Amino acid sequence: MRKSPTNALCELRHLGGCGGPLEGAHVINKSALRNVRGALAYCEKNSEILLAVVCKSHNTGRTHDTKEARASLLKARVSIFGEEYVSGVLEGLRLLSKSRPPEWRLTALLSA
């Protein structure tokens, strides 16, 4: 993961409970990505959408894996990059999977 700026803040600070250093977290659960050939590399290539900067507490406590947190992270990306771009990146990830998980579509991820 690219190094975060020294003035970066946890992207989930609005949920409270921040603690520890900042870490990289996958917006889509990393364990689900491990079984998809090329998915982790795709996440690195599209890190502005698929990787988040969160504190150790939110990352190791799995807070970032909740539907609410995932929706919040993606809403922020939609406001910056636009719905079409974010949706396209997620669709590219979805197409790497043989099962084409419908839960990886932007509309499904935002419905938290």
What is the average pLDDT across 46-68? 90
End-to-end CA distance of the chain: 26
> pLDDT band for position 7 (50/70/90)?
low
* Average pLDDT rounded to a whole number, residues 62-88: 93
Mean pLDDT, rounded, for 45-72: 91
Q: What does the alpha-carbon distance between residue 73 and residue 48 come to, in Å, rounded to a whole number?
A: 11
Give the model's pLDDT for residue 98.
93
So what's the pLDDT on residue 112? 65
Domain boundaries, the chain: 13-110
Flag the least confident range among 5-9, 79-83, 93-97. 5-9
- pTM for this structure? 0.86
